[in-house]
Amino acid sequence: MGFGLIKVVNKKMTLLQLNELQLKKYTDPYVKLKLIFERTIELIDTHHPDEIAIEAPFFGKNVQSMLKLGRAQGVAMAAGLSRQVPVTEYSPKKIKMAITGNGNASKEQVARMLQSLLSIKELPKNLDSTDGLAAAVCHFFNSGKTQQTKSYSGWESFVKQNQDKIK
């Protein structure tokens, strides 16, 4: 599980941490989920993030792999939510598009663009950590772009919610 932490001050990003949780040595899938939960809680309690961005599950050919990934993502989300930290998901394509301008970019292309954006001296050998960082940077690039759509139950409701548009 890769993760990246950024700090944003006055709309400027700074890299705080780029790392990954090594889980290959554990065979019990429940132990892996427990470790993901605990490490996510530890990161939250240490860094006090305002928000968490996670790569949304993607559909692959291997259903078992997709299920395992979905569980891991769910555990990380639950850790954030248990600390009242809002969680946003982004599709892999949206993350790649936000970072490189190409939704089909390779892991290497995303990593090199992050290296340039955040002045990372040396990229890690395993690019799972840059995947986590890419979700954070994507979230930063997309912050403020989502607008809640107002819903109206009729003309009267529209008028009440849009007094500034009435002369």
45 is catalytic: no
Options 45, 108, 128, 164, the catalytic residue: 128
Q: Where are the domains of the chain?
A: 2-165
- Neighbouring C-alpha atoms within 13 Å toward the C-beta of 119: 5
- Better-scored residue on pLDDT, 158 or 91: 91
pLDDT above 80: residue 151: no
Q: Which of 38, 42, 51, 55 is catalytic?
A: 55
Q: Which residues are annotated as a binding site?
A: 55, 128
| pLDDT > 60? residue 148 | no
Question: pLDDT of 49-78, one tens digit each?
Answer: 999 999 987 766 778 888 888 899 999 999
With beta carbons less than 8 A apart as the criterion, state whether 76 and 39 touch.
no
What is the per-residue pLDDT across 100-138, written as a single tens digit (0 to 9) for each?
999 999 999 999 999 999 999 999 888 888 999 999 999
Q: Which residues are annotated as a binding site for Mg(2+)?
A: 55, 128
Over the chain, what is the mean pLDDT? 87
Strand 87-90 to 52-55 pairing: parallel
The CATH topology of domain 2-165 is: Nucleotidyltransferase; domain 5 (3.30.420)
